[in-house]
Amino acid sequence: MKFYVCIKQVPDVNAPLQIRDGELLQDRDRMILNAYDASAVEESLVLTEEHGGKVEVVMVGPDKARETLRKALAMGADNGTMILTDRPDLDSTAYSRILAAFFKDKDYDFICCGKQAQDTDAGLTGSMLAEQLELPYVSNAVGLNYENEKLIVRRQGDAGQEIIELPSPGLVTCSNDMNEPRIPNLKGIMQSKKKPVDSITPEDLGIDIGSIELSTNILGFEEMPERETGKKFEGDPDEIAREVARLLDQEAGLV
């Protein structure tokens, strides 16, 4: 069974960030493997460990994002491809077009993606890629099994969970609720240094990255409107509980 996992390097959303003149200032040293992608890597590894097969990771990004690709290899992926670009403003459409060009002549059973990137939370690239490759897909997977050459995907829907059979070749986008991604051990880290990584450019895939005109753009950033800090009640539990209940009724009219 051959898995490809599409991964992305993202800023750590837990790191402090600042906005100045509409620009987002972030600590560029705190770039990490997107948590949803880490779950996709983990799940592919678990399935190939059980049923046999290979896991290859692919990433679009700048050269300095290589450490993130190495992390996926240290987790246990067999090899990787780095599609190098320094262009920082690519949107989901651009990412999915580059990936679609990469996958055009590849053989695989399943492509796994994180369901969204944790910085933009857009969640578009996976299904855009599936549509371009004309693959059946399932999004927001919270569990995967493999039976009779099909992935049995547990998908979290609006109300309940759906158990969906996805034939090969197919694409699945993963939630981080499906597993706890392994932390690479020393052996994994040492081995990852010897694992093959192909470095290619979008131009190698027939895409002129400089001339891509984006149809969605970020115009700037602004702070969330601050919530006024309300009242904090400390003291006798019985008293403060009853007081807040009365205030909810009198002040907010919510009872």
Partner 1 sequence: MNTILTYISVSDGKIKRSSLEVLSKCRLEAEKNGLKTAALIVDENASSLAEKVRPYGPSEVYIVEGSEFKNHLNSPVLKAVSGAMNTIQPKVMAFASTENSKDILGALAANQNAPALPDMSEFELTDKGVKGKRPVMAAKIISRVEAVGDPVIISVRSGSYDLIESPSEPQIKKLDFTVTEKEIKTTIREILTAAGDKVDLSEAQTIVAAGRGVRDEEGRKLIDELATVLNAGIGASRALTESGVYDPSLQIGQTGKVVSPQLYIAVGISGAIQHTAGMANSKVIVAVNKDPDAPIFDITDYGIVGDLYKVLPPFIEELKKLKSN
Helix (H) or strand (E) holding 190: helix 186-192
Chain residues 214-253 in contact with partner 1, contact rule CB under 8 A: 215-224, 227-234, 237-238, 240-242, 244-249, 252
Quick check: 46 binds partner 1 (CB under 8 A)? Answer: no
Total residues binding partner 1 (CB under 8 A): 81
State the minimum distance, in angstroms, from the CB of residue 61 to partner 1: 18
Is 36 in contact with 175 (CB distance < 8 Å)?
A: yes
Q: What is the DSSP string of 26-74?
A: E-TT-EEE-HHHHHHHHHHHHHHHHH--EEEEEEEE-GGGHHHHHHHHH
State the minimum distance, in angstroms, from the CB of residue 235 to partner 1: 8
How far apart, in Å, are the Cα atoms of 95 and each of 10, 46, 209, 244? Answer: 14, 27, 10, 50
Quick check: 21 binds partner 1 (CB under 8 A)? Answer: no
State the minimum distance, in angstroms, from the CB of residue 112 to partner 1: 15
Task: Give the residue from 94, 101, 55 showing the smallest Cα distance to 74.
Answer: 55
Among 31, 33, 73, 138, binds partner 1 (CB under 8 A): 138
Among 72, 119, 146, 192, binds partner 1 (CB under 8 A): 119
Among 170, 181, 184, 202, binds partner 1 (CB under 8 A): 170
Chain residues 76-105 in contact with partner 1, contact rule CB under 8 A: 91-93, 96
Chain residues 141-160 in contact with partner 1, contact rule CB under 8 A: 142, 152, 156-160
With a CB cutoff of 8 Å and minimum separation 6, the contacts of 227 are none
Quick check: 191 binds partner 1 (CB under 8 A)? Answer: no
Q: Which long-range contacts (CB under 8 A, 24 or more apart) does 207-210 make?
A: 207/97, 207/98, 207/101, 209/85, 209/87, 209/98, 210/87
Quick check: 132 binds partner 1 (CB under 8 A)? Answer: yes
Among 161, 185, 199, 201, binds partner 1 (CB under 8 A): 161
